[in-house]
Amino acid sequence: MTQQHEVKAGGRVPLPAELRQHLQLTTGSRLIIRVQDAGHAELVTSAALAAELRGLLKDDGPSLSDELTTERHEEARRENLE
């Protein structure tokens, strides 16, 4: 979706209802502006950025809590054998 909007007094750029609905924006929603280079910027919702960051931080390896639980069970089993 590409739209053109005029910068108003005070640097305000009104977002039409269609765009707000498409981005699921409500009063108080946070937007991030990523400046790409001269003349290019990207508007990103904070929810979209959070989802993107969660994807970057996602670890498909073994769960550390599961490993710790297994180790504790093994230690307890060894102690009971003594």
pLDDT value at residue 57: 67
Report which DSSP code applies to 16. Answer: P
The CA-atom distances, in angstroms, between 65 and each of 10, 55, 71, 76, 82 are: 51, 20, 10, 16, 26
Q: Which CATH number is 9-81 given?
A: 2.10.260
- pTM of the model as a whole: 0.54
pLDDT value at residue 80: 83
Report which DSSP code applies to 61. Answer: S
pLDDT digits (tens, 9 = 90+) for 30-62: 999 999 888 898 889 988 888 888 776 666 677
% of the chain exceeding 90 in pLDDT: 35
